[in-house]
Amino acid sequence: MKRIFDFVVSIFALIFLSPLFLVVSLAILITDGAPVLFKQERVGKDNKLFTVYKFRTMRNGTGDVATAELTDANEKITKTGKLLRLTSIDELPQLFNILNGTMSLVGPRPLIPAEKEIRELREQYGVYSVRPGITGYAQINGRDNIDDETKALLDKEYVEKQSFMFDLKIIFKTFMKVLKRADIKED
């Protein structure tokens, strides 16, 4: 049921959002050139690596590192990228990850493999038994303002409580958080 729901919602979202995808793609091309999409290895279901897609928000040549690891992150993020991150629009290409079965609408956010501490906690808590999501329980309960242990515990709680209604609640709360721009921390 969850996979069918994810697939159908993703198809409709991609059709509905296609004008936005076009505008964002043109803005990225005009301000910083190609490529439009950023691809990165992330940790997914069963602790296996997969490629995640996002709109590119950093300048060409920045490299494949977490924003927190950059000493000059504000200088590396493009003007378009700042807006995309603030509105979470940079995450929308992950709808393609849902179509190919590597992600879900709701689940623990996929980690960068180098995030060893939280990755080990998630493994210990059985979090990798589900697909990662575009949004998740930790995102509506603090997002960037909570520590790794709390995120991992919230991810575990999601796995234990997951249901169609719980996912709908998380999706609704995600929209509210994005509209309010809550719990977003940029360096």
pLDDT in tens, 35-92: 999 999 999 999 999 999 999 999 887 766 666 566 666 778 999 999 999 888 999 9
Look up the pTM and report it: 0.89
Helices and strands (H and E) in the chain: how many: 7, 4
Does the CA dihedral 116-139-57-44 come out positive or negative?
A: positive
Contact, 144 vs 185, CB < 8 A? Answer: yes
Nearest to 96 by CA among 60, 55, 128, 49: 55
What is the pLDDT at residue 76?
84
Q: Give the separation between CA 88 and CA 11, rounded to whole angstroms.
A: 19
